[in-house]
């Protein structure tokens, strides 16, 4: 049962609408059901020959039937798949929030669309893309004037420039100017987008904020590059579901996915003013940081810093955190670093805190993961149940976090959510219930 908004102070920031498109569901209901059942969306990537790569043979891929459904709902001529995913998730969220009339003032829109590169999102399009590159190179070389002439009348894919009409389409969809921010903060981008949107509301710059992020880039180029970084799972077993095993002793890397998430957030006062009685979660505080030590490796001190900041800015103490929705990528280094930071913050109590890791089922959606996993965090609060980490059958004692193979039913007043990324990106946020939750 969603909590009542009447219990909240006017300036609380609440999530009133949610939408997802993931390998385990293209609706919030299906996504949540799959989370509780531990149903994996991972499969061997059979759309291209990855056999000679040292890793990365498994991906979180949206099933074809689900893709068709999403295209039918949200596709349009000339619209990229990444934009289609965001439109679909956002439409779900707007419907969920019952945001049917234009906000009185500009609406904020904060989004993170991960650019798949000029070939677009699908592996089958990459070889033709390279073929065109080769033909061009053989015809005119790299002389700019000749290239420009060569390209003059040729079609260009919508992903070519990484600029689209998405924002203008949303402005038209909701009938008001959009205070838009397209941001990029590597894999912490989704959670950062939520923080930016919440800040806009707290400053009074907008009454309602839309947040969305999408990723779909399982292409030969991306796989080859992540392969070089040795960041991808090396699971070769019978069941591809076990390729992503956050905090498990057998974990061997992450699994990339295609996914999108969206949220509608607003002040409690604004939600009440338009007759909204229920909400999903209250956004507490957040912590953000940039580390300067390494390009790709996480730093336990920075992780600890953002977690402590998020808790502190929520008006809470570590003892007030009931459960953790982890970044949990299933890489050797991330998981032990994240766990180490959690131990620094929670001490021995960490062994009693239920930790979930959505990437165990969906794979890693880069910037989209922060939004998608926030949906799971909100539902954890709503339903008082922590989803299982169904693939983590051999918990790594070096991590020492408490995961469960089955859903854990327990009162949940607060959830700590984290996202980290290359380039020294760190973000943590606390979500909480209304009545009965500490911190207010």
Partner 1 sequence: MPRILITRTGLITAAGAGVDPVLAAMEAGRSHIPSGVGTGAGAGPAGAAPAAPAADGTQSPQHRRTPWPTATLDPADTPWPGGKLWDNAKKYANTAAFGAVAAAVQAMAGAEPVTGDTAIASGVVMAVGCSGSDELNEAMARIAVAAQTDPRPLPKLLYDEVPDFSYIRGIPSQIGQFVAIATGFRGSNVAVYGEGGAGGLGALAQASRLLRSGELDRVIVVGVAPPLSTTMLVAYDREDRLGTAAVPGAGPFDAGRSGAFPGQAAVALLLEREDVVPVFGADAVPVELVSCESRCTPERSGAFAAAAGAALSRHGAVPDVWWAHGSGSTATDAEECAVLGALAAGAHVTSSKGTLGTAFECGGLVDVALAAESLRRGQTPPVGLLVKPDPDLGDLEFVVGTARPAASARTALVTAASHGAKAATAGAAVLWGGAL
SS (H, E, C) 258-281: CEEEEEEEEEHHHHHHCCCCECCE
- Round the CA-based radius of gyration of the chain to a whole number and report it: 21
Pick out residues in 74-133 that bind partner 1 (CB under 8 A). 106, 109, 111, 115, 117-119, 126-127, 130-131, 133
Pick out residues in 209-238 that bind partner 1 (CB under 8 A). 220-229
Coil vs helix vs strand at 408? strand
DSSP code, position 353: S
Residue whose CB is less far from partner 1, 1 or 145: 145
The count of residues in the chain is 440
Q: What is the spatial distance between Cα 68 and Cα 46, in angstroms, rounded to a whole number?
A: 19
- What are the CA-CA distances from residue 272 to residues 117, 267, 285, 378 (Å)? 42, 9, 22, 19
DSSP for 189-244, written as a single string: HHHHHHHHHHHHHHTTS-SEEEEEEEE----HHHHHHHHHTT-B----SS-GGGG-
Selected binder of partner 1 within 30, 69, 91, 162 (CB under 8 A) = 162
Q: How far is the CB of 305 from partner 1 (least distance, A)?
A: 8
Site string for partner 1, 262-301 (x = CB under 8 A): --------------------------xxxxx--xx-----
Q: Does the protein bind partner 1 through residue 181 (CB under 8 A)?
A: yes
Selected binder of partner 1 within 6, 95, 101, 161 (CB under 8 A) = 161
Pick out residues in 20-79 that bind partner 1 (CB under 8 A). 48-53
**How many CA atoms within 13 Å lie on the side-chain side of 275?**
4
Selected binder of partner 1 within 73, 312, 422, 439 (CB under 8 A) = 422
Residue whose CB is less far from partner 1, 101 or 393: 101
Q: What is the spatial distance between Cα 141 and Cα 160, in angstroms, rounded to a whole number?
A: 20
Q: What is the spatial distance between Cα 118 and Cα 48, in angstroms, rounded to a whole number?
A: 18
Residue whose CB is less far from partner 1, 400 or 439: 439
Q: How far is the CB of 164 from partner 1 (least distance, A)?
A: 6
Q: How far is the CB of 229 from partner 1 (least distance, A)?
A: 7
Coil vs helix vs strand at 357? coil
Selected binder of partner 1 within 423, 438, 439, 440 (CB under 8 A) = 423
Q: Partners of 17 in the beta sheet? A: 264
Q: Does the protein bind partner 1 through residue 151 (CB under 8 A)?
A: yes
Q: Does the protein bind partner 1 through residue 196 (CB under 8 A)?
A: yes
Residue whose CB is less far from partner 1, 153 or 352: 153
Residue whose CB is less far from partner 1, 148 or 435: 148
């Amino acid at each position: 049962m969603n909590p009542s908004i009447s219990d909240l102070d006017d300036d609380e920031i609440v999530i009133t609408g949610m939408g997802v498109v993931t390998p385990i569901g293209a609706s919030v209901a299906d996504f949540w059901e799959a989370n509780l059942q531990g149903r994996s969306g991972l499969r061997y990537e059979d759309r291209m020959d990855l056999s000679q790569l040292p890793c990365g043979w498994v991906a979180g891929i949206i099933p074809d039937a689900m893709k068709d459904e999403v295209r039918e709902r949200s596709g349009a001529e000339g619209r990229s798949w990444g934009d289609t995913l965001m439109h679909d998730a956002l439409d779900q969220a707007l419907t969920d929030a019952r945001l049917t009339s234009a906000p009185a003032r500009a609406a904020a829109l904060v989004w993170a669309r991960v650019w798949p590169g000029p070939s677009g999102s699908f592996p089958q399009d990459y070889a033709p893309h390279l073929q065109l590159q080769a033909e061009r190179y053989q015809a005119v070389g790299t002389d700019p004037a000749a290239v420009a002439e060569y390209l003059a009348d040729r079609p260009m894919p919508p992903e070519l420039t990484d600029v689209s009409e998405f924002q203008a389409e949303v402005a038209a969809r909701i009938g008001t100017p959009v205070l838009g921010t397209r941001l990029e903060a590597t894999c912490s981008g989704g959670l950062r987008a939520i923080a930016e949107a919440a800040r806009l509301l707290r400053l009074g710059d907008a009454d309602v904020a839309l947040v969305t992020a999408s990723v779909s880039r399982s292409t030969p180029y991306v796989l080859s590059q992540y392969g070089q970084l040795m960041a991808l799972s090396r699971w070769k077993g019978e069941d591809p579901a076990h390729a992503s095993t956050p905090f498990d002793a057998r974990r061997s890397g992450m699994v990339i996915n295609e996914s999108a998430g969206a949220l509608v957030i607003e002040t409690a006062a604004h939600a009440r003013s338009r007759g909204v009685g229920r909400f999903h979660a209250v956004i507490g505080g957040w912590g953000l940081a940039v580390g300067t030590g390494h390009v790709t490796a996480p730093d336990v001190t920075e992780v600890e810093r953002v977690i402590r900041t998020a808790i502190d800015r929520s008006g809470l103490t570590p003892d007030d955190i009931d459960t953790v929705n982890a970044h949990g990528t299933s890489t050797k280094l991330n998981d032990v670093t994240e766990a180490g930071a959690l131990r620094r913050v929670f001490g021995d109590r960490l062994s009693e805190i239920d930790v979930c890791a959505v990437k165990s089922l969906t794979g890693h959606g880069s910037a989209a993961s922060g939004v998608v996993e926030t949906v799971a965090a909100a539902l954890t609060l709503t339903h008082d149940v922590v989803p299982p980490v169904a693939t983590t059958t051999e918990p790594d004692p070096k991590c020492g976090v408490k995961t469960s193979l089955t859903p854990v039913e327990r009162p949940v007043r607060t959830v700590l959510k984290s996202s980290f990324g290359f380039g020294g990106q760190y973000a943590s946020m606390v979500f909480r219930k209304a009545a009965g939750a500490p911190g207010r």
